[in-house]
Amino acid sequence: MKNIAVFASGNGSNFQAIIDAVQAGTMTASIKILVCDKPDAFAVERAKAAGIDYFEFRAKDFTDKQAYETEILAKLAEYQIDLIVLAGYMRLIGSTLLSAFEGRIINIHPSLLPAFPGKDAMGQALRAKAKVSGVTVHYVDAGMDSGPIIAQETVDIDENETIETLQEKIHKVEHQLYPAVIQMLVSKMREEVKNG
């Protein structure tokens, strides 16, 4: 069984979709820990409800990114984490985590990257009057939403689309796509171990 850590900063609806997939048996990974940089985030409540350990911190309590990432790294080692899954984690990952987990950190983004990277991707798409947006799952590198793409799915934008209706459509796709991609990656990791 591969161990995953989920990083979230907010509501954690993708975190919930991953929990649901594990509970339904469609994902054969173990969610060992939630890492959250906003102690009042609802994602923490989801972890508590599912009996998942969590580590919460405030970046401002540390001297710099390296300091809090070093602490996170120690936690991940404790839980023998194989894969880091970013699910609405609103911080750029620094070199401390990137070098320790190279090729083993993934993120989900609510647009068809490279279009509309960064914050407010849905708002960006609407303001650009885009006809299509979507969801991208990608590996994390040092840039902003710039790592190699693993999977994408499109979402049509209607003429009278609002941020709320687009969000609903995108979440629906995210909640299917992300658990499926994670399952694909953990299966691949298991194969690699088996084939040595």
Task: Read off the tokens for 94.
Answer: 């620094």
Q: First CA to last CA across the chain, in angstroms?
A: 16
Question: Long-range contacts for 37-40 (Cβ within 8 Å, ≥24 apart)?
Answer: 37/9, 37/89, 37/90, 37/91, 38/9, 38/10
Contacts of 140 (CB under 8 A, 6+ apart): 84, 86, 93, 98, 105, 106, 107, 147
Q: Which of 109, 138, 171, 175 is catalytic?
A: 109
Give the span between the Cα atoms of 96 and 106, in whole angstroms. Answer: 16
Active site residue 109: yes
Q: Is 47 helix (H, G, I), strand (E, B) or coil?
A: helix
Contacts of 26 (CB under 8 A, 6+ apart): 179, 183
Active site residues: 109
